């Protein structure tokens, strides 16, 4: 299994963590760009005792999507930060809808 394949299945586990350098590599962004997203508050590092920032692997998928849209539409990092916030909000709302639908009696 390649490192890229391993990274893709790890994203599904929210308990998995990635370092800043791993996150930048997985999302095709420079560490400086990832740092800028942290400064804007779009990415929140986990509280950790180590010197390098650590993130939940759950942020990889939306960050990759935002990165692709950045290239497609030539967005600056502030716009990417806003976009990332919206992508995370959409995902949270979709989870709520799925949860509510699970409580509804099935239509037969």
> What CATH number is given to the structural domain containing 48?
1.10.1660.10
CA distance 95 to 100: 9
Parent domain of 7: 3-101
**Nearest residue to 35 via CA among 80, 91, 87:** 80
**CA-atom Rg of the chain in angstroms:** 16
Establish if 108 belongs to a structural domain.
no
User: What CA–CA distances, in Å, run from 75 to 49, 53, 64, 66?
Assistant: 34, 25, 14, 10
Number of domain units in the chain:
1
- pLDDT for the residue 51: 81
Establish if 95 belongs to a structural domain.
yes
| Locus of tokens 């692709």 | 68
Stated pTM of the model: 0.79
- pLDDT for the residue 75: 97
**Average pLDDT, 10 consecutive residues per value, the chain (108 residues):** 54 77 93 96 88 90 94 97 96 94 79
């Amino acid at each position: 299994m390649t490192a890229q394949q391993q990274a893709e299945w790890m994203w599904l586990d929210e308990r998995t963590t990635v370092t800043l350098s791993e996150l930048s590599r997985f999302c095709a962004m420079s560490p400086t760009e990832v740092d800028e997203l942290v400064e804007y508050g779009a990415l929140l590092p986990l509280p950790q005792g180590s010197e390098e920032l650590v993130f939940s692997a759950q942020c990889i998928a939306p960050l990759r999507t935002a990165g692709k849209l950045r290239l497609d539409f030539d967005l600056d990092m502030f716009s990417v930060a806003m976009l990332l916030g919206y992508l995370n909000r959409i995902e949270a709302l979709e989870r709520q809808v799925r949860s509510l639908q699970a409580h509804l009696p099935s239509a037969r």
